[in-house]
């Protein structure tokens, strides 16, 4: 499905991003993973040392120079960036506005939204040269408003508007931009949250998903792979809820 296609995945060293990376590699794509975590990048490069279609690059997506350097390197290694998955995200503050520090607000916006802006800007330069490209932004059901998530919800809501604006601007160049809004998926970030919930709170969270269970990283990876691929060639500007029915309420 992704033969001869180069795809960049941010935050691809763990959780949902890692499953997206595995899915692209399984479909014969070439993947460059960007991650701020040096240890995880070293570990991934060792794991895939025999796979010439994989390379991890240490990069802070909120740093413009880091992002420029990473994409300059990628452009030297490949003729054309076909795809970008803006998956890198953090959630340091589960608080209302009165208890959210400015530092946590800025860190969240810088990684989750500014990072997508910086990476998309570099990727689209390559995509325009070939009149072809596909971007998938990983948002969240938190984008629709979630209690005590003022910074995170704001960043993920911004991702939806960002997606639709990019889609309108670049559709004529055959560059598609879509967004996925996952429900609760037990990544390391979510697992740490779940451990602090009471039995009733956990039951309430599961019950909020009408399908009666949390999602898996594979669920998000499969949806991402579809939107990246030519199977979705007439789809752009959407925000797809992959959430076990969470957003029905």
Model-level pTM? 0.95
State which residues form the domain around 104.
Answer: 6-185+217-242
* pLDDT reading at 247 higher than 80: yes
CATH number at residue 104: 3.40.50.720
**Residue-averaged pLDDT of the chain:** 95
Cβ contacts of residue 13 below 8 Å, gap of 6+? Answer: 33, 35, 37, 40, 41, 43, 44, 56
> Residue 203 domain-assigned?
no
* pLDDT reading at 249 higher than 80: no
Q: What is the pLDDT averaged over residues 216-230?
A: 98
Integer Rg of the chain from CA: 17
3-state secondary structure of 133: strand
> Residue 247 domain-assigned?
no
pLDDT at 187: 86
Q: Which of 82, 152, 184, 246 is catalytic?
A: 152
Question: Quick one: which H or E segment has residue 218?
Answer: helix 217-228
* pLDDT reading at 195 higher than 90: no
Confidence of residue 71 (pLDDT cuts 50, 70, 90): very high
pLDDT at 63: 98
Burial of 203 (0-12, 13-18, 19+ CB in 10 A): exposed
Tell me the pLDDT tens digit for each residue of 74-89.
Answer: 999 998 999 999 999 9
> Residue 200 domain-assigned?
no
Give CA–CA dist 70/73, Å, rounded.
5
> Residue 208 domain-assigned?
no
> Residue 201 domain-assigned?
no
> Residue 40 domain-assigned?
yes
Tell me the pLDDT tens digit for each residue of 126-170.
Answer: 999 999 999 999 999 999 998 999 999 999 999 999 999 999 999
Domain count, the chain: 1
> Residue 204 domain-assigned?
no
pLDDT at 152: 96
193 is a catalytic site residue = no
> Residue 193 domain-assigned?
no
Percent of the chain scoring above 90 in pLDDT: 88
């Amino acid at each position: 499905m992704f033969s001869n296609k180069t795809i960049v995945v941010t935050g691809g060293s763990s959780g949902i991003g890692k499953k997206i990376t595995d899915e692209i590699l399984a479909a014969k794509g070439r993947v460059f993973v960007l991650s701020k975590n040096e240890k995880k990048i070293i570990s991934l490069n060792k794991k895939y040392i025999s796979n010439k279609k994989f390379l991890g690059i240490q990069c802070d997506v909120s740093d413009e120079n880091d992002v420029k350097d990473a994409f300059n390197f990628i452009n030297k290694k490949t003729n054309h960036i076909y795809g970008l998955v803006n998956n890198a995200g953090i959630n340091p503050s589960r608080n209302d506005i009165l208890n959210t520090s400015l530092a946590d607000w800025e860190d969240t916006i810088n990684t989750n939204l500014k990072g997508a802006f910086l990476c998309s800007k570099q990727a689209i330069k390559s995509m325009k040269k070939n009149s072809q490209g596909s971007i998938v932004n990983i948002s969240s059901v938190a984008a629709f408003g979630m209690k005590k998530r003022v910074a995170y919800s704001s960043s993920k809501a911004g991702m939806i508007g960002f997606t639709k604006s990019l889609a309108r601007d670049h559709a004529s160049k055959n560059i598609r931009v879509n967004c996925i809004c996952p429900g609760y998926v037990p990544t390391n970030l979510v697992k740490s949250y779940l451990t602090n919930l009471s039995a009733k709170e956990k039951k309430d969270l599961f019950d909020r998903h009408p399908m009666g269970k949390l999602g898996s990283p594979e669920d998000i990876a499969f949806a991402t792979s579809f939107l990246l691929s030519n199977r979705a060639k007439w789809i752009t500007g959407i925000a797809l809820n992959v959430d076990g029915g969470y957003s029905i309420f």
